Amino acid sequence: MGSIMNGNQVSKLAKVDLRAHQYRFVKLGTDDLVDICGVAEQAYGVLLNIPNIGENAEVACLGETQVEAVELIAANVLVAPDADGKAITATTNDFVRGICTKASTGAGMITIRLMDSYKAL
């Protein structure tokens, strides 16, 4: 299966129905397909479109993007995925995937700068 890289975005096929997961963290499986990312999993990036199974999933891998947050997250706070791929404040053993650059006033959309994934200590 091929992929297309365009700047900071990658296009790969969706493993599952991702139509309800736009602007959430996703992972890349060993089969090279995009899937929902969960707690303590290493996120590949943030899903930008609404693909069904087998359709192209557009994934932001670097740069700034919006992501859905499950809680209030302040600017300059490190973020990681929750069980449903939404952003949460990163804690010990989470795989950090970005830093919040524009906070929310509660659950909802935030802006993050994606960075290389690493495990929080």
* Predicted structure pTM score: 0.92
pLDDT tens digits, 78-95: 999 999 999 999 998 899
Confidence (pLDDT) at 1: 45
Please give the Cα distance from 108 to 14 (Å, whole number): 24
Mean pLDDT of 1-19: 80
Greater pLDDT, 118 or 110: 110
Confidence (pLDDT) at 57: 97
Question: Partners of 93 in the beta sheet?
Answer: none
What percent of the chain stands above pLDDT 90?
A: 82
Please give the Cα distance from 9 to 65 (Å, whole number): 11
